[in-house]
Structure 1
Amino acid sequence: MTHTQYDSFLALADKNRREILMLLTKEKSSINTLAESFKISRPAVSKHIKVLVDTGFITIEERGRERLCSLNSQGFEEIQSWINHFEKFWKQHLSSLEVLLKKKGKE
């Protein structure tokens, strides 16, 4: 499921959003707990979280009055696909270069 309101790459361009994602690799966290890790306001952190939810990087689970944020692996699929494309591209080109260098070495 791709969320198209925001571009995944633009979502990751902000250092605060990247830091939120890094914090969530350690454990699920409430929005208030996440906000305590930043020098920006809680509403600003909430806006960053909304972008991350809208792009599918995180999900929010309601637990009573608390809202727990956690990473969503599906959100990273677009980024991973893009990286895989270029990894394949470079492996093919480096392999071709290796073959060429071996041929040149035998001459």
Structure 2
Amino acid sequence: MRRDVFQAIADPTRREILHLVAYQSLNMEAVANNFAVSRTAIYKHVKILTQCGLVTIKNQGRERYCEAQLKKLSEVADWVESYRPFWNAKLDSLENYLHQLNKYIPND
């Protein structure tokens, strides 16, 4: 089953796993030790991350290391960026409203 990057970041545990391996590769045990859930649950999260292309698993001897592949997050950044004009307009409108409101509030 091929998953997309949005499925990966939808879960807080998977986001935390990404955060852990973003700057250094960690073996599966080191990743699992950061969570109060079963190793099986962490392995399932890592599997989803690999299916989404955000993590690769490298075998080094008997150890399996997780390495982040964060280029795929550009899909999320592009999607968020498409909404920037909408939110900028809303926030500008709110700022204008607050300035107008401030004119009517007496200064003590």
With normalisation by structure 2, the TM-score equals 0.73
Question: What does residue 44 of structure 1 align with?
Answer: 41
Separation in structure 2 between the aligned mates of residue 46 and residue 31 of structure 1, nearest angstrom = 8
Residue 21 (structure 1) aligned with residue 18 (structure 2):
yes
Unaligned ranges ≥5, structure 1: 98-107
1:1-107 matches, within 5 Å, as: 5-90=2-87, 93=89
Task: Structure 2 unaligned segments of length 5 or more: list them.
Answer: 94-108
Mapped contact 1:58–1:75 kept (Cα < 8 A)? no
Calculate the aligned-residue CA RMSD, in Å: 2.5
1:28–1:88 CA distance, 2 compared to 1 (3 A):
farther
The size of the alignment, in residue pairs, is 96
Relative to 1, partners in 2 of residues 1:88 and 1:72: Cα closer, same or farther, differing over 3 Å? farther
Q: Kindly, what percent of the aligned residue pairs are identical?
A: 35
Q: What's 2:100 paired with? A: none
Paired residues of 2:22 and 2:70 also in contact (CA < 8 A): no
Bigger-Rg structure (1/2)? 2
Q: CA deviation at 1:89?
A: 4.8
- Which residue identity does 2:57 align to in structure 1? I
Deviations 1:47-69 (A, max 9, x none): 00000011011111111111111
4+ aligned runs moved over 3 Å, structure 1: 88-91
SS at match of 2:3: coil
Q: Give TM-score, length-normalised by structure 1.
A: 0.73
Distance (Å, rounded) in 2 between the aligned partners of 1:73 and 1:22: 10
